Structure 1
Amino acid sequence: MEYLILGLLMLAPMTGYELQQFIKQNLALICSHSAGSVQTALAKLEREGRISAREANEGKRRKRIFSITESGRTAFAGWVSQPMQADKVKNMELARLFFLGLADPAERVEAIRGYLHQMEEMEATLQTIRARFDAICQGEIPDGKDWDSIFRFQGYTIDYGIAASRFERDWYARLLCELEEQA
């Protein structure tokens, strides 16, 4: 969570609420978007000197706007430049699939149906994120960053999610057909 927040703050200063909402709307499939997890990460990053906060008034409300520090930029640059690690990608639902043979046959079918339904919802969510992302890319973009590169890799991430979701949905649909034929 900490590096995700540092990356978002590399793009622009944000409040804790703005960070939470961005994660909820765009990255909830990657990590938790709970206020507690965001606030815990912000507190840790601030203690470590990787972010700083300034107070601002908005009407009668006071808000804290977080910015990344040079130490945070260095930490983020070190993290993002490391090779990606295939052994870090885990799907704990595969453990459930591994043991599904121990369940009643009717429960197996229902478990797969339920998972397929969730995968369809996930793909719809990713398509919504893709549409929102495409609209942002076409909109007015502030100067000062290599937005073409930033957007290109963000787009790759969304495309990967959509492709992985489709693969998983199709794979489980074939499994469901096989289980229904055996029933």
Structure 2
Amino acid sequence: MQIIILGLIMTQDLTIYEIRQKIRTYLSNVSSDSTGSIQTALKKLLENGFVTFTESVENGKNRKKYMITRDGENYFKETISTSMLYKEKNMELAKLFFMGYVDKNKRVALIDSYIKELEKELQSLKKVAMTFEPRYSFEKDYLEKFEATLNQRDLADNDIHDIARFQYATLDFSIEKIEFEIRWFINMRNKVLSIENISNGHDKN
């Protein structure tokens, strides 16, 4: 969570609410967007001197905007420059692992339910992808649109290209991964259904 927050405020000072919205919109498949998790991470970042904040009052409400410090930038760049590790752990897959214990009449329905969850997430990601089309073209209109989201930093076009290229590559990866999962679970569902039909046929005989 700390690295995600630092990455988000690398280009734009943000409130906790804005951080949460960006995680929910762009990184829902990577991290929780719970306010508690964000507050805990910000507390540690503040203690380490990696972020600071400004306070203002808007419409009678106190408003804190968090910004990254030089030490925070160095820590962020150092951390993301290390090798990526495979750490995907989906505890929900334990239900698939132990599905042999589930009533045979419920298995297909449970798989169908998970497929619907995947399809819902896929539509959400595709909706995000559509807000930045055409992607990878880096034409003037595109750059202006993307730069508007980075409105508090002085960045050259090449910097914007690099930031956008990898953020959208991550979005594409997430979309393609979920599409693969949907195909896999549909295939699994059909196998389970086929086995159940054969089993039911034997029972009748």
TM-score bracket for the superposition, by shorter chain length: over 0.9
Mapped partners of 2:146, 2:68: distance in 1: 23
TM, length-normalised to structure 1: 0.92
Matched residue type, 2:101: L
Residue of structure 2 equivalent to 1:37: 37
* Residues 25-174 of structure 1: pairs in structure 2 closer than 5 A: 25-86=25-86, 88-134=87-133, 138=142, 139=145, 141=147, 142=151, 144-145=154-155, 146-174=159-187
Mapped partners of 1:81, 1:167: distance in 2: 29
Mapped partners of 2:169, 2:90: distance in 1: 20
Identify, as 1 or 2, the structure richer in helix.
1
Mapped partners of 2:126, 2:45: distance in 1: 32
- Of 133-142 and 7-16, more deviation after overlay is shown by 133-142
Higher relative contact order (CA 8 A, sep 6+): 2
Which has the greater radius of gyration?
A: 2
Matched residue type, 2:47: R
Where do 5+ consecutive residues of structure 1 fail to align?
Answer: none
Mapped partners of 1:74, 1:181: distance in 2: 56
Shift of 1:30: 1.3
Matched residue type, 1:112: I
SS at match of 1:121: helix
Mapped partners of 1:104, 1:129: distance in 2: 38
Gap change, CA 1:19 and 1:168, over 3 Å in 2:
same
Mapped partners of 2:182, 2:14: distance in 1: 35
Query: How many residues end up aligned between the 2 structures?
Result: 182
Shift of 1:140: 6.0
Percent pairwise identity: 34
Shift of 1:46: 0.8
Mapped partners of 1:45, 1:76: distance in 2: 11
Deviations 1:1-56, CA, capped at 9 Å, x for gaps: 01000000101111111111111222122111111111111111111111001112
Does residue 1:180 correspond to 2:179, yes or no? no
Matched residue type, 1:173: I
Gap change, CA 1:98 and 1:140, over 3 Å in 2:
closer
Mapped partners of 1:3, 1:135: distance in 2: 28
- Of 38-47 and 163-172, more deviation after overlay is shown by 38-47
Where do 5+ consecutive residues of structure 2 fail to align?
Answer: 197-205
TM, length-normalised to structure 2: 0.83
SS at match of 1:14: coil
Mapped partners of 1:79, 1:133: distance in 2: 28
Structure 1: 4+ residue segments shifted above 3 A: 133-137
CA-atom RMSD in angstroms: 1.8
